Amino acid sequence: MNNLHIEELEDYIKKEMFYKDMPGIGISITKHDQIIYAKGFGVTKVDTNQPVTPKTIFHMASITKTFVSMAIMQLWELNKIDLSASITEYLPYFKMKDMRYKKITIRQLLSHTSGMPDCEDYEWERAEYDADALERYVISLADMVLLDEPGLEFKYSNIAYEILGDIIAKVTGKEFEDYVCCNILQPLNMFDSTLLLQNTKPEALARPHVKNEEKKVVGSKIFPYNRKHGPSSTLYSNVLDMSRWARVNLNRGELDSKRLLKSSTYDLMWSPIVAIPGEGQEVALGWFVGNLSGLKLLGHEGCDIGFRSSFGILPDVNVAVTVVANANYASTKKIMHEAINMALKD
């Protein structure tokens, strides 16, 4: 990717920001185990002059699920988790009104094939911050009913990932966030990243934006954080740290001589489980598998109130892109695809 390609990409980003009225964007591109581009555009909050930089922290939303997947696979490698085991093997207090819950496996939770419903209200405006919030939430599912027979078909479920987070906590004897920090974030030197909003630096944090009834961009009165939804949504990171996440996965579990997963585990984690109707992609264990320009594209999207994010890696050509925005209506996926196409040019 030469200077001309960079200029083309930046023109594209600026036009997208103008036409979509996006306050701020962060982007990083890695290729052959190096960051080849990282930049911020726009501002962290409307009506301010604080610029977005590659160090600006964004709410990553559902990209968090790829970290949950690695955590589960780490414990699987240690024989602490059986992907074919039921939820109740690890959470004996877990119950649902629908008795089919007893059939749900860890693999089905990871691949959104458990039949679990999705969360209808994250209760961002009533955030819980204490360490017991996740367990309380899992216990509160007792009156829920499944949408489908477990293992039947794809139904995206954030609830499934809250259950996985609680399983990680109970299997390891650590708080979910602590396990991910100690076993993924710290070994990768992702020191600006956290799953706890209270651990972020306020001056580095982008603010969420929405459009009001007049279609004007305004700061959201609600910030998307609730500890009971940590496993599905509350990673806070920047594009520089996310480039390290991209690299360890492109290297199939190793970065800077530190191995987080066996290479062979990726064959299992990235193997498609079921096709997603009408989307031209499949779901694996915490990752979505599609293609772009004839190449396999793995990754995840994220969207919560005031934020949107896109993360994609192309293992066959060793390219990865992260795009984050402080507006939930932002076209991060389009920008990611354009950035990938530019990175593929020599």
Q: What is the DSSP string of 84-126?
A: TSBGGGT-TT---SSGGGGG-BHHHHHTT-S-PPPPS---GGG
- All domains of the chain in start order, with CATH: 3-61+189-343 (3.40.710.10), 67-177 (3.40.710.10)
- Cα angle: 131, vertex 180, 208; to 5 degrees: 75
Residue 163 tokens read as: 């259950």
Query: pLDDT tens string for the chain (346 positions)?
Result: 788 899 999 999 999 999 999 999 999 999 999 999 999 999 999 989 999 999 999 999 999 999 999 999 999 999 999 999 999 999 999 999 999 999 999 999 999 999 999 998 889 999 999 999 999 999 999 999 999 999 999 999 999 999 999 999 999 999 999 999 999 999 999 999 999 999 999 999 999 999 999 999 999 999 999 999 999 999 999 999 999 999 999 999 999 999 999 999 999 999 999 999 888 999 999 999 999 999 999 999 999 999 999 999 999 999 999 999 999 999 999 999 999 999 998 6
Share in percent of the chain as helix, strand, coil (round to 5): 35, 20, 40
pLDDT score for 120: 82
Contacts of 138 (CB under 8 A, 6+ apart): 91, 93, 94, 162, 163, 166
pTM, 2 dp: 0.97
pLDDT score for 22: 98
Distance CA(84)–CA(280), nearest Å, equals: 27
Distance CA(129)–CA(165), nearest Å, equals: 15
pLDDT score for 156: 97
Nearest C-alpha neighbor of 307 from the set 155, 197, 214: 197
pLDDT score for 312: 99
3-state secondary structure of 330: coil
